[in-house]
Amino acid sequence: MANQAQVSQKKSFTDRMRVVFKGVLDPIGGFLNRLGITPNTMTMLGLLGNVVGAWYLSQGNMLAGGLYILICTPFDALDGTMARLRGEASDFGAFVDSVTDRYSELFILGGLLYHFLSVQDHISAMAVYAAAAGSVLVSYTKARAASLDFSADVGILTRVERYLVLAPLLLLNQPSLAAWIIAVLANVTALQRIWKVRQQARKSA
C-alpha cells in the first residue's frame, strides 16, 4: 500500500495554532525548564488541574470549573514545548501526553455528566455522553488511520477547538450549550475523518 500519510493536505487548526503561538510558548517553556520543572510535571499538573475543575463542575460551580480548565488545559502545549527545548522529545512522551489529554477531557465531561444527572437534566446528560463519544472517536479515527498508513488530520472540531468551545461557555454558565456543540461537531469531525480514510482507501485499491 502506498504511504498515504505522505499525501499533502492542509494543516489542522491545532497545528496552525502551535505555529502561531510558538513565539509565546518557547520563552515560557524555556523559563519553566530553567526553574527545574520537568515536562512530565507539567503534564501531571495539567491533568490534576482538570480533575479539580471536573469536581467543581460536578458540584454545579461552572465558573470555578471553567477557570481551572482555562488555566490548566494549555499545559498540554507547554509540556511538549519544554520537552523539545530540552532535546528530550520522544515517541513515548508524545504517547503519554495524548493519553493524559484523553483522561483530562473525559474527567471534565464526567463532571458535567454527574452535574446534569444530579439536577435531573437527562437531555443534557445525553448530550455529554454524545460529546464524550465524539471526542474519543475523533482521536481514535486518527490513530486507527495512522496504524493503517492513512492520514486523517481533518475535521472542524479537534482538541483545541473543543477547548475553545468548552472553557468560555463554562465561564458564561452555559454547560448544556457547550455539551451540545461538542456532541454534534465532534461526531461530525469523526465522520469527516472516516470519509477521508475511505477516499484514500479507494485510491489505493
- From the list 101, 121, 149, 153, the catalytic residue is 101
Whether 91 sits among the annotated catalytic residues: the reply is no
Cβ distance 88 to 75 under 8 Å? no
Count Cβ neighbours within 10 Å for each residue of 107-139 and write b for 16 or more, e otherwise. Answer: bbbbbbbbbbeeeebeebbebbebbbebbbbbb
Q: Give percent helix, percent strand, percent coil of the chain, each to the nearest 5.
A: 80, 0, 20
Cα angle 107-161-142, degrees, rounded to a multiple of 5 = 80
Distance, in Å, from the CA atom of 4 to the CA atom of 16, rounded to the nearest integer, reads 21
> What are the catalytic residues?
101
